Amino acid sequence: MVVRIAGKRMYLWRAVDQEGDILDLLIQPRPDKRAAVRLMRKLLKKHGFAPKRAVTDKLPSYAAAFRELRLNCRHERRMRTNNRAENSHQAVRGRERKMQRFKSAGSAQRLLSVHAAVHNTFYLRHHLSPDRPSGSSEPKR
């Protein structure tokens, strides 16, 4: 995701798990291999194990980072497979509008890290909530 910070283009790298929880995020000035390696190292250090499957967009720096880190997980780059990560950007866009843009990369990184933790805690996932009966709660007679 591209974010404007103090008039400069910055790239927000985000890792999301299969249930939509935000694992980590990183703001970098370029979308290159170095940034992808930095995000992957941060994730590996934080979680302690390599993923079994990675779903990314078609940016070539992901594949280069996986080769450099010698990750042998299945890497999927098909169309619409990374929708969960793309949809997680919507909350960031809303926060960015309310704040009238981010002022610096450091403050954006700090705010978005806290925002991700709060989002993971309080966001209601519809696929995990119990089913509610449709219609009225009274039985038919």
The pLDDT value recorded for residue 55 is 84
What stretches of the chain show up as alpha helix (H) in DSSP?
33-47, 60-69, 83-87, 89-98, 105-122
- Residue matched to tokens 């806290």: 114
Q: Is 115 exposed, middle or buried (0-12, 13-18, 19+ CB in 10 A)?
A: middle
How would you write the pLDDT of the chain (141 residues) with one tens digit per residue?
A: 788 888 888 888 888 787 777 788 888 899 899 999 998 898 889 888 888 888 888 888 888 998 999 988 888 887 766 666 666 666 666 666 566 677 788 878 777 777 777 766 676 665 555 655 555 455 555
- Residue matched to tokens 């990675």: 54
The pTM of the full predicted model, rounded to 2 decimals, is: 0.64
Domains and CATH numbers, the chain: 2-120 (3.30.420.10)
